[in-house]
A and B are shown apart, each in its own frame.
Chain A
């Protein structure tokens, strides 16, 4: 009788320990996979052009990266990145290279915004719209774009009540000094 009781107690104890151990493993695995997911999101984010233009339908490059990794959203929604970004993403994620979804927009050469200062009324709406804080100014004072920080995302255009923001061909690193492509 006593041995049976002991056996039962030991069995329960073993079950309890095994259960606790399994739960632990399960949570560790969960932790591990979410870490992996985070690092994948970071890698995907680094491949995106960081224009923060929201043309993909997400409010920035990181949210789009999260959508790609978590929800398996298409990788061809980024117009500023163009074919180059699609190819890099396809290589990373083991997906086929697909053409850019032009419903989101066209791939354009680099551009920057400039504020036509004589028309600016100082409403601060563009400052609030800029995703990279590249516009300076204050209410009823003239605003200006910090050219070197502007990503050319066009998000400042719609809120401007007097249409005083224009896009001009953007700066390039040393391309002004570039060697021409050989003719042959």
Chain B
């Protein structure tokens, strides 16, 4: 035990005060500006209506499993793997705008919330709750693991880092590979590593830090659960060194965990230098393992799984039987009257979030962004519902994108800060000329949209917006090509069918003609015979 404690100490103190094991290219040193961390996390009261988009991660429409007028309970499915955030009644299914840079209408379920939880509501079709059947941590056979993954799925667990990738899908292959060696398919020198991303590098977002200060014990339990289930060889929680309070809380929780459970691979606490964008998945993997992940590969191909610290907490909550129906959101920004971190149910409108936290004045006077100043986008419709992707709502005095862009002067500043070794000025050049394939050839899809290039550009060019735009264009072109291939196959198949039918018809005509050609001879005979018979009959009549 003391040996293990020493190992943790070494990790915390020796490595923590030095630099992280691996450096990454580029990035920015941005002064942290995390607000509202002195206040505890409040859960904001439920609004009158919740709007739940019927969309999955792949932006496919989901089939609802409830009908209009149904009473629904918290945790009950509205669609497959989509738990309802609160008790209420299904008011309607209609097209509403969802949180997205470009306004988009999509099919949503609108729920009238019934606030009083005491009134008994008849339950509808609710998924079976598997949580109670999962026994202790150490059961690690495949069926228990599959049951656990199924529960994560049913509880609607998605990553809470911002991309909202389904957690169960991320863990699936890893969990089912019993042998650690099969978990590192590509690079065998790499340890099978589970990384918990608590870097939270965007300077003004503080939701993960607030969570770590409030729920360090539960987070550590969640990580322990994940660690035991996926059977990794190394488990790291990485926090930026600008969060001493969170680090202290997590360290305390780790030590407490060590005194209660025996383990060969203790959770390492890795303090990394504060440098944006250390919290981006590919960058953090580079910092922790030294491994660069090309866009054509997934981290899992290199034996690495990266989960957000909020997801680890949600995993623990799910183990306790609680589905993922709310998240912590940072209300921040220079123009936010009362910056704080609050727990918000999915489907709550931005307007309700701001009104119930004393930030109503920000609605009228300032520009509201979903997400932080670097990765977020401006929001105009305040009725947009919060989703598991929304980690921050920030208020700004002026629209940052209103600054006029000047021509690129090829200063190379964007190249120096790009963590993915891209050439942003060159990509911008190709995209401006609508030279899509060239921008793809220069690894446009490696761009993680961190916005470092936007910050340093002396000409105020919105480089990352250009890259988002070009990515969408390329995806559209790929889709068109795919459609063209389908049309070509259908056209060729149709032509083959028409030719076959024509050939069959010609064969049939030829057959009938040949039949006719032989028949006339027989026919004449028949006629002659008939005449002969008729004459014979007449002769017989005359005779008689």
Residue B102 interfacial (CB < 8 Å): yes
CB pair B466–A182 under 8 Å, yes or no, is: yes
Complex partner residue of B59 from A46, A131, A177, CB under 8 angstroms:
A177
Complex partner residue of B488 from A45, A181, A184, CB under 8 angstroms:
A45
Please indicate the chain A residues that have their CB under 8 angstroms from the CB of B100 in the complex: 177
Chain B proximity mask over A158-184: 1 for CB below 8 Å, otherwise 0:
000000000000001111111111111
Given contacts A133-B493, A174-B59, contact A182 B465 (CB under 8 A): yes
Given contacts A52-B491, A149-B487, contact A177 B462 (CB under 8 A): no
Chain B proximity mask over A26-58: 1 for CB below 8 Å, otherwise 0:
000000000000000000011011111000000
Residue A122 interfacial (CB < 8 Å): no
> Once the chains are docked, how many angstroms separate the CA of A178 from the CA of B479?
13
CB distance from A151 to the nearest CB of B (A): 5
Residue of B nearest to A172 (CB): B476
Please indicate the chain B residues that have their CB under 8 angstroms from the CB of A77 in the complex: none
Residue of B nearest to A47 (CB): B484
Interface majority SS on A: helix, strand, loop or mixed? loop
Stretch of B249-257, B368-376, B467-475, B517-525 on the interface side: B467-475
Given contacts A180-B102, A184-B461, contact A132 B491 (CB under 8 A): yes
Residue A121 interfacial (CB < 8 Å): no
Chain A proximity mask over B478-497: 1 for CB below 8 Å, otherwise 0:
11100111111011111100
CB pair B487–A182 under 8 Å, yes or no, is: no
Complex partner residue of B487 from A51, A183, A184, CB under 8 angstroms:
A51
> Once the chains are docked, how many angstroms separate the CA of A174 from the CA of B460?
28
Residue of B nearest to A174 (CB): B475
Residue B115 interfacial (CB < 8 Å): no
Residue B405 interfacial (CB < 8 Å): yes
A-B contact count (CB 8 A): 84
Complex partner residue of A177 from B104, B461, B490, B492, CB under 8 angstroms:
B104
Residue B120 interfacial (CB < 8 Å): no
CB distance from A88 to the nearest CB of B (A): 10
Complex partner residue of A134 from B104, B404, B476, B490, CB under 8 angstroms:
B490
Chain B proximity mask over A56-97: 1 for CB below 8 Å, otherwise 0:
000011100000000000000000000000000000000000
CB pair B59–A50 under 8 Å, yes or no, is: no
CB pair A173–B475 under 8 Å, yes or no, is: yes
Total contacting residues, chain B, CB less than 8 A:
35
Please indicate the chain A residues that have their CB under 8 angstroms from the CB of B404 in the complex: 184
CB pair B462–A182 under 8 Å, yes or no, is: yes
Please indicate the chain A residues that have their CB under 8 angstroms from the CB of B495 in the complex: 60
CB distance from B505 to the nearest CB of A (A): 15
Given contacts A172-B476, A177-B472, A179-B102, contact A50 B487 (CB under 8 A): yes
Please indicate the chain B residues that have their CB under 8 angstroms from the CB of A173 in the complex: 475-476, 478-480, 483
> Once the chains are docked, how many angstroms separate the CA of A45 from the CA of B484?
10
Residue of B nearest to A170 (CB): B483
CB pair A180–B469 under 8 Å, yes or no, is: yes
CB pair A50–B488 under 8 Å, yes or no, is: yes
CB distance from A50 to the nearest CB of B (A): 4
Given contacts A182-B465, A182-B466, A184-B405, contact A175 B490 (CB under 8 A): no
Please indicate the chain A residues that have their CB under 8 angstroms from the CB of B101 in the complex: 179-180
Please indicate the chain A residues that have their CB under 8 angstroms from the CB of B401 in the complex: 183
Please indicate the chain A residues that have their CB under 8 angstroms from the CB of B486 in the complex: 149
> Once the chains are docked, how many angstroms separate the CA of A49 from the CA of B485?
9
CB pair B472–A133 under 8 Å, yes or no, is: no
CB pair B469–A175 under 8 Å, yes or no, is: no
Complex partner residue of A179 from B465, B492, B494, CB under 8 angstroms:
B465
Please indicate the chain B residues that have their CB under 8 angstroms from the CB of A132 in the complex: 487, 490-491, 494
CB distance from B53 to the nearest CB of A (A): 13
CB distance from B374 to the nearest CB of A (A): 16
CB distance from B178 to the nearest CB of A (A): 38
CB pair A174–B479 under 8 Å, yes or no, is: yes
Please indicate the chain B residues that have their CB under 8 angstroms from the CB of A52 in the complex: 487, 491
Most chain B CB within a 10 A radius of its CB, from A46, A131, A177, A182: A182
Most chain A CB within a 10 A radius of its CB, from B405, B461, B485, B490: B490
> Once the chains are docked, how many angstroms separate the CA of A133 from the CA of B498?
11
Q: Which of B18-60 contact A (CB under 8 A)?
A: 59
Please indicate the chain B residues that have their CB under 8 angstroms from the CB of A172 in the complex: 476, 479
Please indicate the chain B residues that have their CB under 8 angstroms from the CB of A50 in the complex: 483-485, 487-488, 491
Chain A proximity mask over B279-322: 1 for CB below 8 Å, otherwise 0:
00000000000000000000000000000000000000000000
In the A-B complex, list the 10 residue pairs whose CB atoms are closest, starting with the nearest. A173-B479, A184-B405, A178-B472, A179-B468, A50-B484, A132-B490, A50-B487, A182-B465, A50-B488, A179-B469
Q: Can you name 7 A-B pairs with beta carbons within 8 Å?
A: A151-B487, A172-B479, A177-B59, A178-B102, A179-B471, A182-B469, A183-B401
